[in-house]
Structure 1
């Protein structure tokens, strides 16, 4: 047996990696298309909002005023969601800026609100502080979105998503805790979840499971920010992910 044969991954592993790469490429294409559609949709919403404001200047009667107010409110909410998507898509420059962490999380919750409601997930928020940290906003938003979606997927029959943000004055870190009430992760799996291509997700009814890339990428991004991520889990009770980010850029000797 040659050295190449000894090092070559098994056929099923190679096929698995190939499928994951194809899935990542498809998601990239869908993301580019969604961004383009969102731009067009945003232009339409701007027109609707402006005409609603125009109609409210001199409404002929109370019923018409109420109708315009509902149109304006709905249009502005839809615009907020679209702008959140566009901000997430275009904020990819690796430039750190002082960013309100609570605002990033609120944008993520706005984007996932419909999905969380559909799956009967109750969201409990506790903002003890409002930390501002020097981060690449798009990257941290990607992490928070990934953790929220993971928590939702862990609660397939409904549950509670508990979110807490605080500022640790001792460690000078912003701390974000995202907890679910799902089935939890067994200890033998817990030590592997940050490894590339490892996933605890089984395929759903459509045959879609996890790629095993999300948490690995999350850890890489957080370490690039000189931060930390950890997970605690109890089988039968749920899992808690804690992200810690420096409140200032650390000086590296």
Structure 2
């Protein structure tokens, strides 16, 4: 049987769609592995806190010291439990479904996982999270986008700096706006049109932490946001920093009520 030109085009389109899906799955697994690695470092840091205060409580018999040790141990254990819950939820939820999503919680969880890394690179985080309606989104995918943007921002400030994360609503357009802004080196204007293209990167390769430099991160972010029916754009000035602005649709009242 001879394939017509239309059949051949459909076949090619199906192959492209299949390969695109496979690439997205590979990127998602890579992101999960990176997230797990980051969480492992943070979990180890929490574990050392528990061990050190346990030793303090054993060495000193007075009640004030033991109360302090137990309080610190409890706080560290609660943090460890939160880290574990975040990783397990990410690993379990392989669904592509969109549902009403609390973006503020995703921001909080993501910053918790990156807290040690940001502190290590002398990066402070400022947040302005206004009360907004739930977005219609896949929480895992949006967290993947947010982690990528925050890590990129950290890498743009090798000598330290500030990352500002904002969350606000735009009722007129029925959307939620998420902004990630850094005070880093900025991106030259001539490179901005290519910033979301696959394999385009402003970096020479991974940094000392082993992250970044593949040229796939921002491309994946764009694809995820577009699949959500949203938009992502970049604003940047050399020497003053870069901002990524994400617009996501608000979940419908029916979806929110069902959730």
Q: TM-score, normalised by structure 2?
A: 0.72
Write out aligned runs for 1:154-233 (5 A). Answer: 154-203=156-205, 204=207, 209-233=212-236
Residue 85 (structure 1) aligned with residue 87 (structure 2): yes
Q: 1:180-221: per-residue Cα shift (whole Å, max 9, x none)?
A: 111111112111010011111123358865111111111111
Q: 1:141-176: per-residue Cα shift (whole Å, max 9, x none)?
A: 111111111111111110110111001011111000
Q: 1:227 to 1:201 in 2, by over 3 A?
A: same
Give the counterpart of 2:249 among 238, 241, 246.
246
Stretches of structure 2 that go unaligned for 5 or more consecutive residues are 1-22, 55-60, 253-259
Give the counterpart of 2:77 among 66, 75, 78.
75
Q: 1:126 to 1:33 in 2, by over 3 A?
A: closer
Stretches of structure 1 that go unaligned for 5 or more consecutive residues are 1-20, 53-58
Q: 1:154 to 1:74 in 2, by over 3 A?
A: same
Q: TM-score, normalised by structure 1?
A: 0.74
Give the counterpart of 1:31 among 30, 33, 47.
33
CA–CA distance in structure 1, aligned partners of residues 91 and 190 of structure 2: 36
Q: Report SS of the residue matched to 2:107.
A: helix
1:102 touches 1:131 (CA, 8 Å); kept in 2?
no
CA–CA distance in structure 2, aligned partners of residues 88 and 29 of structure 1: 11
Q: 1:224 to 1:76 in 2, by over 3 A?
A: same
More helix by share: 2
CA–CA distance in structure 1, aligned partners of residues 211 and 34 of structure 2: 21
CA–CA distance in structure 1, aligned partners of residues 150 and 31 of structure 2: 23
Tell me the C-alpha RMSD between the 2 structures.
3.1
